[in-house]
């Protein structure tokens, strides 16, 4: 049986740092975007700024292991961490070796850490919407740092660059070279490159990335992405990676680019929400099935009418939208 929760009550408990209340609120926003409005009305007097870090890379590159190690270091610095892992096969949800899973569990029971695993699809309004709303909850909860782990980079459905302030792109030896990554559009998005699994090599990857960065003409921003090597299984190199992350944060803050990143993030959110809401209206109210059938049948005989028909349909829809607005 589905249990109903009183949102106001949950928000009160959330403000007392009740992790169960946090978990329930996350479930609510995850499953029902409409509940977000009510939730954030109750939380609007909580002010906090979390620093949002994205960790991305191909499957199996070591994202979850690294996220765990980074979290350990960040809590050692006295900060709290909210993790969002968009990855059905993460150790959190049971995809990797048992050893990893046990280590992750240890971290996530730390009072300053909260972890949420999301499937990579199936959310109303998309994964980005869910990630954005959960980040807002983490901010309101007072998390100093939010870590987002995802395989997706530069996809239209999910764009980590628009959700995080510092994006770490991970690569590993024997998992394809940097040229392939560049072709796939992965390479441009990084603020920091991490060549993981350094115990298996990777020096050549570092050279390739450095050469690519030398060639890149788009580095007018004043930040040349550093290339770090880690072994996230043993923890080697994690200190340096974290140092680079804080350097990037400082760079964004000093240059005021952080404002641009934050604005971008909201623009992305606003556009996605509007498109989602308008799409729902369209699907629910404006497309009359009979009309669609007629139109489509007509096209069976007169297929070159398609653009004229589309234009007519668009004008009708546009008119109805204006009327409804």
Ligand X SMILES: Nc1nc2c(ncn2[C@@H]2O[C@H](COP(=O)(O)OP(=O)(O)OP(=O)(O)O)[C@@H](O)[C@H]2O)c(=O)[nH]1
Q: Which of 7, 96, 213, 258 binds ligand X (CB under 6 A)?
A: 96
Q: Do the bridges between strand 51-57 and strand 113-118 make them parallel or antiparallel, or are there none, so unpaired?
A: unpaired
Q: How many Cβ atoms are within 10 Å of 297's Cβ, its own excluded? A: 9
Q: How many CB atoms lie within 10 A of CB 102?
A: 10
Binders of ligand X among residues 12 to 31 (CB under 6 A) are none
Is 33 a binder of ligand X (CB under 6 A)? Answer: no
What is the maximum span of the chain, computed from C-alpha positions, in angstroms? Answer: 71
Q: How far is CA 221 from the centre of its chain?
A: 23
Q: Which is nearer to ligand X, 62 or 82 (CB)?
A: 62
CB-nearer residue toward ligand X: 87 or 144: 87
Which strand (E) or helix (H) includes residue 232? none
Instruction: Tell which one of 31, 59, 180, 279 touches ligand X (CB under 6 A).
Output: 59
Q: Cβ–Cβ contacts within 10 Å for residue 51, how many?
A: 20
Residue 176 CB partners (closer than 8 Å, separation 6+): 58
SS3 of residue 203 by DSSP: helix
Of 30, 87, 159, 191, the one binding ligand X (CB under 6 A) is: 87
CA distance 232 to 116: 20
Given Mg ion, ligand X, none, residue 157, with its beta carbon under 5 to 8 Å by kind, binds none
CB-nearer residue toward Mg ion: 57 or 226: 57
What lies within 8 Å, CB to CB, of 193 at 6+ separation is 168, 169, 170, 171, 209, 225, 226, 227, 228
x-marked contacts with ligand X along 220-239 as a string, rule CB under 6 A: -----------xxx------
| Distance of alpha carbon 214 from alpha carbon 208, whole angstroms | 10
**Residue 69 interacts with which of Mg ion, ligand X, none, CB < 5 to 8 Å by class:** none
Binding-site partner at residue 144 among Mg ion, ligand X, none, CB < 5 to 8 Å by type:
none
Binding region for ligand X (CB under 6 A) out of 13-21, 43-51, 89-97, 109-117: 89-97
Q: Decide whether 93 or 309 has the Cβ nearer to ligand X.
A: 93
Considering CB distances under 5 to 8 angstroms, the limit depending on partner class, which of ligand X, Mg ion, none binds residue 226? none
Residues from 152 through 211 that contact ligand X (CB under 6 A): 196-197, 199-200
62 binds ligand X (CB under 6 A): yes
Task: Copy the structure tokens of residue 314.
Answer: 């668009």
Q: 147 forms bridges with which residues in the sheet?
A: 53, 83
We find the least distance from the C-beta atom of residue 37 to ligand X, in angstroms, to be: 32
Distance CA 276, CA 306 (A): 26
Give the phi and the psi of residue 53 in degrees, each rounded to 5: -115, 135
Q: List interacting residues with Mg ion (CB under 5 A).
A: 63-64, 87, 90
> Rounded distance, CA 195 to CA 175, Å?
11
Q: How far is the CB of 11 from ligand X (least distance, A)?
A: 32
Return the one option of Mg ion, ligand X, none that residue 61 interacts with (CB less than 5 to 8 A, by type): ligand X
By CB under 6 A, name the one of 36, 50, 54, 65 that touches ligand X: 65
Measure the N-to-C terminal CA separation of the chain; round to a whole number of Å.
38
Q: Which does 97 bind (CB under 5 to 8 A by kind): Mg ion, ligand X, none?
A: ligand X
- The helix or strand, by DSSP H or E, that contains position 17, with its residue range, turns out to be none
DSSP tag of 91: T
- Of 100-129, binders to ligand X (CB under 6 A) are 100
We find the least distance from the C-beta atom of residue 217 to ligand X, in angstroms, to be 30
Given the rule CB under 6 A, which residues bind ligand X? 59-65, 87, 89-91, 95-97, 100, 151, 196-197, 199-200, 231-233
């Amino acid at each position: 049986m589905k249990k109903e929760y009183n949102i106001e009550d949950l928000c009160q408990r959330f403000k007392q740092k009740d992790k169960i209340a946090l978990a329930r609120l996350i479930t609510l926003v995850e499953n029902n975007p409409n509940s977000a409005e009510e939730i954030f009305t109750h939380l609007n007097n909580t002010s906090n700024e979390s620093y949002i870090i994205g960790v991305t890379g191909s499957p199996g590159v070591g994202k979850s292991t690294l996220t765990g190690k980074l979290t350990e270091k960040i809590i050692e610095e006295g900060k709290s961490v909210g993790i969002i892992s968009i990855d059905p096969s993460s150790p959190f949800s049971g995809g990797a070796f048992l050893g990893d899973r046990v280590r992750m569990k240890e971290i996530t029971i730390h009072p300053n850490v909260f972890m949420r695993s999301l499937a990579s699809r199936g959310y109303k309004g998309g994964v980005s919407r869910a990630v954005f709303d959960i980040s807002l909850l983490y901010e309101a909860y007072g998390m100093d740092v939010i870590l987002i782990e995802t395989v997706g980079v530069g996809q239209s459905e999910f764009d980590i660059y628009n959700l995080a302030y510092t994006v770490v792109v991970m690569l590993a030896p024997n998992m394809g070279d940097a040229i392939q990554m560049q072709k796939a559009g992965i390479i441009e998005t990084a603020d920091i490159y991490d060549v993981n699994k350094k115990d298996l090599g990777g020096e050549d990857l570092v050279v390739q990335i450095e050469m690519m960065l030398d060639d890149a003409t788009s580095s007018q921003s004043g930040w040349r992405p550093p290339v770090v090597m880690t072994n996230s299984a043993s923890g080697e190199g994690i200190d340096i990676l974290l140092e680079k992350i804080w350097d990037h944060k400082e760079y964004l803050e000093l240059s005021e680019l952080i404002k641009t990143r934050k604005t971008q993030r909201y623009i992305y959110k606003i556009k996605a929400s509007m498109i989602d809401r308008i799409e729902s209206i369209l699907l629910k109210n404006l497309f009359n099935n009979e009309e669609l059938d007629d139109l489509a049948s007509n096209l069976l005989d007169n297929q070159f009418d398609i653009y004229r028909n589309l234009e007519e349909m668009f004008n009708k829809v546009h008119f109805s939208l204006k009327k409804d607005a």
